[in-house]
Amino acid sequence: MGAVYALVAMGFSIVYRTMGLVNFAHADVVMIGAFLAATLFVTMHLPFAVAITAAVLLTAVIGLGIERILRPLESKDLNLMLIGTIGFGIMLQRSMSAASSSRLINSSSWPYRVS
């Protein structure tokens, strides 16, 4: 678990160094990746390595999309980029809430017992 935290922290650091601002949507993008990996593995019964690889690729596409939208704002105002990252964070949280309410991951299909 510590390695995951280290990777997320490195992501925060890289984004801060390159763009000069804290990306408030960064943790939400990580959440989307974890949800995609769990959905692909548990619900679609893909092998674990394939599910992780697909989740990383889909999450990278989401990150690139966010970067493509925020990059033009860099020359205008840093506050616009900051508000944009907060907006993307809210949008990702709400989309995940809507997706999970449709029971994409059913606890009865989880292969491990949680007690």
Tokens of 16: 């801060």
- In the three-class reduction of DSSP (H, G, I as helix; E, B as strand; rest coil), residue 8 is classed as helix
Quick: pLDDT tens for 85-110: 889 989 998 888 887 765 555 555 55
Q: How far is residue 65's CA from residue 84's CA, in Å, rounded to a whole number?
A: 12
Quick: pLDDT tens for 48-97: 999 999 999 999 999 899 889 888 887 787 788 888 888 998 999 888 88
- In the three-class reduction of DSSP (H, G, I as helix; E, B as strand; rest coil), residue 87 is classed as helix
Identify the pLDDT of residue 3. 80
pTM of this structure: 0.72
